[in-house]
A and B are shown apart, each in its own frame.
Chain A
């Protein structure tokens, strides 16, 4: 589904990513681990088409991303969800509005928005807090809201950038369980993390250090 082939990202003279190649198949769950500054977020940004590789090829569902016209970029972004360590919720809107936001700004119809939002909220188990404002929620709950927002376009792939980085161990486990559950329903997941404790299960592990992928780390 997503192929990175010899992807290199340079900023000025320094290599942020150097000759990174890997692939994520349909319904796969992969961990992306490595120290701070290794380039994990950069890889996710490349896949999300936020960062243009300096060289190398990115193939998305059989198509070369370099050939995407710029107006197709938003359409690709709707097919993959993203979540972050800092949740990126809008503080001035409640839970329901935050999730609905992703649909409203992509031109969905009102009826669809309501139905899809409620469904996403129930998938992540936060329906009961739908009128709460973000600051009234715990970190784990906020991340659930962010996940719900990422789900409204029914993505094939969910990019998670240290989603448990700000959470206590218990909430982190719950979020991982939720992601695993989504994965079982068919969503491929690429999760960047520092948290070695969470890296378990029959998942692909991509180790990255100073912009380079360490060889043969599959389990």
Chain B
């Protein structure tokens, strides 16, 4: 193992500029992948944020008894789509209205016109127009229910948006990932081919394939890791800068895309060098 490490290091030293070039290439292509990851992660986070706002409101008729309300609340809470049910009294509704729109508006009318309601937060998987509609449908016909609302139009639009976003994201993601794979595999292949001569001589003098491989394992690991690290740092900084300019956007932690890049780089470095070396050794017989 000592030999393999020393050989890997000395070969990196020997081919200094070449290594810089290939690490740079790997870093650059991972950086582009990183931008994609950053955008995806953040859009995904934003979508999730929006989805938590999908709420079903059941407005109750005036004069409904506490028992009837409790019974309905219990029924609704038992539905699989429902995460949480809150009872909002007429007074609480008025209070909320006041904080939202100011005192004066309500003082103008003689008695509190706002209905009591049950506000339903849906479970994560059901935060869509289908989920909301199912809950709405099951209670709409109840005698104590005045009306059910969940912002049908915007929830449906949100659903469409999410679908388009994920389809587009998938296509772009596959394209970028394949390009990254292609570039890195080729970069690593070039560094292996650059050592073709010495590999040929190793075989000539009776080095075993395992022995020939080991330094390349470390070289691939090193180049992939370093490329991933550079790209990761760049992405992390980019994220930090984005935070400065887009403070009102909920940006998720840039650490995850950055760490993914280090992992992907290292993995591709190791796998890439293994594969191209295997092909070369097979061709040398």
Contacts and interface: CB of A to CB of B under 8 A. Distances in A.
Interface of A: 50-51, 71, 74-78, 82, 88, 90, 92, 101-102, 104-107, 149-150, 153
Given A51-B285, A88-B200, A105 B207 contact: yes
Interface of B: 3, 7, 14, 197-198, 200-209, 211-212, 285
Contacts of A71: 208
Given A88-B204, A104-B7, 12 more contacts: A51-B285, A74-B203, A74-B206, A74-B209, A76-B206, A77-B204, A77-B205, A90-B198, A101-B198, A102-B205, A105-B202, A153-B205
A74 B204 contact: no
19 contacts: A50-B285, A51-B285, A71-B208, A82-B204, A88-B197, A88-B204, A90-B197, A92-B14, A101-B201, A101-B202, A101-B205, A102-B206, A104-B7, A105-B202, A106-B205, A107-B3, A107-B211, A150-B205, A153-B206
A181 B285 CA distance: 32
Which 10 pairs across A and B sit closest by C-beta, in order of nearness?
A: A78-B206, A77-B206, A102-B205, A105-B207, A74-B206, A74-B208, A105-B202, A50-B285, A106-B207, A90-B198
A11 B6 CA distance: 41
B197, B200, B201 interface centre (most CB from chain A within 10 Å): B201
Contacts of A82: 204
A83 to B, nearest CB: 10
Contacts of A77: 203-206
Nearest to A97: B10
Contacts of A75: 206
A136 B208 CA distance: 31
Q: Which of B203, B205, B285 has the most CB of A within 10 A?
A: B205
Given A50-B285, A92-B14, A104-B3, A74 B198 contact: no
A77 B207 CA distance: 9
A90 B198 CA distance: 7
B164 to A, nearest CB: 54
A77 B197 CA distance: 17
B205 A149 contact: yes
Contacts of B197: 88, 90
Contacts of B205: 77-78, 101-102, 105-106, 149-150, 153
B247 to A, nearest CB: 53
Contacts of B203: 74, 77
Highest count of chain B CB atoms <10 Å: which of A51, A92, A105 = A105
Contacts of B7: 104
Contacts of B206: 74-78, 102, 106, 153
Contacts of A149: 205
A71 to B, nearest CB: 7
A153 B204 CA distance: 12
Nearest to B197: A90
B2 to A, nearest CB: 9
B193 to A, nearest CB: 15
Contacts of B204: 77, 82, 88
A179 to B, nearest CB: 18
A57 to B, nearest CB: 19
